[in-house]
């Protein structure tokens, strides 16, 4: 129960009031006593989900019937339930065979309320679920001063990458907010080709069939 909007029938009414609810995301219900309850959980991060307005209309059984309306303004309090996400760009290029290279920087954002500690500073690191070949080629250098102190990370190659072995690397980056909510996001490293494989002699047999 989130509100009591019970009404008293006007003089001449029959003593019964019928209630209905209008608005409020379609998430509210009103009982025969005017009590307003939630039908389902609310999501503050949904479009227009932070504040909702509902009208509770009560109509008596008099002739003519009379009505009264109560307006409810509902403010949804934030909980830290939205994990932080990486901001673009999340796709980088590296030339195969290059020495250790800075590919770019990663920053993050969060849809929860930052003032409640549900946002920055963010912490970024290589996810422990990365396969061995990713850990061997990529390093994430966390920098708490990036993005005006919100925290970020530089993406580096550890050494030369051979495109003939890996055309791209899918790197799992673990991003956590100040409240401990975390998620793993994918950063794509595309390995650009260079002409480093010599040509080799080859032969090919071609058969021609003649039909009458």
Residue 212 lies in a domain: no
Q: Say yes or no: 54 and 107 in one domain.
A: no
- Indicate whether 58 and 135 sit together in one domain: no
The residues near 61 (Cβ < 8 Å, ≥ 6 apart) are: 9, 13, 14, 15, 16, 17, 18
Question: Do 70 and 89 lie in a common domain?
Answer: no
Rounded to two decimals, what is the model's pTM?
0.75
Domain membership of residue 28 (yes or no) is yes
Contact 159, 99 (CB under 8 A): yes
Residue 41 shares a structural domain with residue 64 = yes
Is 206 within a domain?
no
| Number of domains the chain contains | 2
Q: What are phi and psi of 180, to 5 degrees?
A: 95, -5
pLDDT in tens, 161-212: 999 999 999 999 999 999 999 999 999 999 998 776 677 788 888 888 877 6
Query: pLDDT tens-digit profile of 4-47?
Result: 666 655 555 556 889 999 998 889 999 988 899 998 898 998 88
Where among 75, 105, 137 does a domain terminate? 75
- Same structural domain, 11 and 101: no
Question: In this predicted model, which residue has the larger pLDDT, 63 or 95?
Answer: 95
Same domain, yes or no: 138 and 107: yes
Q: How far apart are CA 49 and CA 24, in angstroms?
A: 10
Claim to verify: residue 183 and residue 92 sit in the same structural domain: yes
Question: How far is it, in rounded angstroms, from Cα 7 to Cα 17?
Answer: 7
61: in domain: yes
3-state DSSP assignment of residue 141 = strand
Q: Same domain for 98 and 175? A: yes
Of 85, 45, 78, 81, give the one whose Cα is nearest residue 176: 85
Which domain, by its residues, includes 106? Answer: 85-192
User: What CATH number should be reported for the domain holding residue 29?
Assistant: 2.60.40.60
Q: What average pLDDT does the segment 132-137 reach?
A: 97
- The full 3-state SS of 80-120, as one line of letters, equals CCCCCEECCCCEEEEECCCCCCEEEEEEEECCCCHHHCCCC
- In angstroms, the Cα distances linking 207 to 49, 201, 210, 211 are 70, 20, 10, 13
Do 114 and 94 lie in a common domain? yes
């Amino acid at each position: 129960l989130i509100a009591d909007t019970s009404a008293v029938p006007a003089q001449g009414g029959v003593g019964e009031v019928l209630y209905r609810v209008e608005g409020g995301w379609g998430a509210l219900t009103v009982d025969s006593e005017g009590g307003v309850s939630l039908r389902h959980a609310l999501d503050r991060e949904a479009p227009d989900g932070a504040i909702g307005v509902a009208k509770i209309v009560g109509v008596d059984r008099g002739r003519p019937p009379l009505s009264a309306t109560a307006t409810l303004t509902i403010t949804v309090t934030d909980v830290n339930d939205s994990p932080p996400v990486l901001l673009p760009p999340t796709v980088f290029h590296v030339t195969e065979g290059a020495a250790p290279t800075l590919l770019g920087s990663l920053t993050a954002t969060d849809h929860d309320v930052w003032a409640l500690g549900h946002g920055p500073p963010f912490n970024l690191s290589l996810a422990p679920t990365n396969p061995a070949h990713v850990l061997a080629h990529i390093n994430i250098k966390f920098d708490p001063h990036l993005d005006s102190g919100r925290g970020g990370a530089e993406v580096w190659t550890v050494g030369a990458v051979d495109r003939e072995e890996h055309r791209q690397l899918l790197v799992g980056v673990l991003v956590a907010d100040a409240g401990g909510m975390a998620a793993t996001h994918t950063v794509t490293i595309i390995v650009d080709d260079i002409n480093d494989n010599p040509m080799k002699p080859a032969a090919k047999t071609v058969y021609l069939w003649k039909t009458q």
